Amino acid sequence: MDDVSIIGVDLAKNVFQVHGATADGRPLFRKKIRRSKLLSSLAEIPNCTVAMEACASSHHWAREIGALGHTVKLMPPIYVKPFVKRQKNDANDAEAIAEAASRPTMRFVAVKSTEKQASGMALRIRDLLVRQKTQTINALRGHLAEYGLVAPSGTVHINRLQAAIRDPETKLPRAVVDHAQLLLDHIKMLVEKIDTLSAELRAGARQDPVSKRLMTIPGIGPITAVALAALSPDPTSFRKGRDFAAWTGLTPKQFSSGGKERIGRTSKMGQRDLRRLLIIGAASVVRWAIRRGGDQGGWLGQMLARKPRMLVTVALANKMARIAWALMAKNENYKNPALA
């Protein structure tokens, strides 16, 4: 065990596969370890590098294993897949993890603290409730459309359906009224929970200095600011803002070959929650600029005059991501170029 340099751990629910190797990649041991004995087994091994895929429970195990004195490295599963030899099984996966972590050009995922994960949990729960609310509204509209009650899409038009259901002279069957009221009560409950989580996130944004700086950027509100602070890795791990924008998936996809560059659509790789929030914020800025006459003197106005609206929105989201990286990496506030 004294020669072990790197250990690859294939995470699972109860039984983990562990692969130990020397500095030159020579295998030392392959074994299965139950969940309850993983930490005690790693505690008996001299301090080395422990590599895992960045998946469910990986940050918890990274914190626990790091407390033992080991150096923990997390990697995206998509970067580990090319190192799997032939058939896929737990033993081959653990060996591939150890092999991938030993590569000098490998990109690693920063281990998140419990506080960052708590903020990210609140954001994802809110997104889940918003999706459930949308599903319930669509179900209500679909069911009532079978009885001739049609309302436009959107939350603001639910009152029209609610008024038709509660009309004393309605011709709807009693069972339909009861079931529709059940969906309306569910929508009301979801709205209350979403409002509670939104208020919690806004309060956290006002107290967090990083979120307060990010909210000075046009198009970034409390929710997006908290998401950037909670879901982004250490900004110093990126060399420049373009790398951070590429990590969020806001850069074009390349199809270059033979020295000829071909640029396609947005790659949509990386952190999709941040990408969605940045595009929504950019869309609001673009809509505001169009209403006030296009802001012909600035970059945004010139882009709107030459390019389609959606393309400009994604380009502005890319620019917002670069600015957000600069603010997080340099601890500065946003400076309006027009005022400068």
Q: Are residue 258 and residue 323 in the same domain, yes or no?
A: yes
Pick the last residue of a domain from 207, 231, 249: 207
Pick the last residue of a domain from 40, 67, 101: 101
Query: What's the domain range around 199?
Result: 114-207
Q: Are residue 170 and residue 232 in the same domain, yes or no?
A: no
Residue 75 lies in a domain: yes
Q: Are residue 129 and residue 35 in the same domain, yes or no?
A: no
Q: Are residue 293 and residue 195 in the same domain, yes or no?
A: no
Residue 340 lies in a domain: no
Q: Are residue 192 and residue 214 in the same domain, yes or no?
A: no
Write the pLDDT tens digit of every residue in 118-141. Answer: 888 999 999 999 999 999 999 999
Burial class (CB in 10 A: 0-12, 13-18, 19+), 230: buried
**Domain count along the chain:** 3
Residue 339 has pLDDT above 70, yes or no: no
Write the pLDDT tens digit of every residue in 57-86. Answer: 999 999 999 999 999 999 999 899 999 988
- pTM greater than the 0.85 cutoff: no
Rounded CA separation 61/15 (Å): 14
Residue 319 lies in a domain: yes
Q: Are residue 193 and residue 153 in the same domain, yes or no?
A: yes
Q: Are residue 230 and residue 324 in the same domain, yes or no?
A: yes
Burial class (CB in 10 A: 0-12, 13-18, 19+), 5: middle
Look at the block and give the residue holding tokens 């990286």: 325
Pick the last residue of a domain from 71, 101, 131: 101
Write the pLDDT tens digit of every residue in 151-174. Answer: 888 788 888 888 888 888 888 888
Sign of torsion, CA 217 220 223 228? negative
Distances (CA, A) of 163 to 40, 138, 177, 227, 280: 63, 17, 11, 37, 32
Residue 339 lies in a domain: no
The H or E element that residue 328 is part of is helix 309-330
Residue 97 lies in a domain: yes
Q: pLDDT confidence of 340, banded at 50, 70, 90?
A: very low
Q: Are residue 34 and residue 76 in the same domain, yes or no?
A: yes
Instruction: Give me the residues paired with residue 114 across strands.
Output: none
Q: What is the pLDDT of residue 62?
A: 95
Residue 210 has pLDDT above 70, yes or no: yes
* Both structure tokens of 242: 């373009």
Q: Are residue 248 and residue 286 in the same domain, yes or no?
A: yes
Q: Are residue 36 and residue 142 in the same domain, yes or no?
A: no
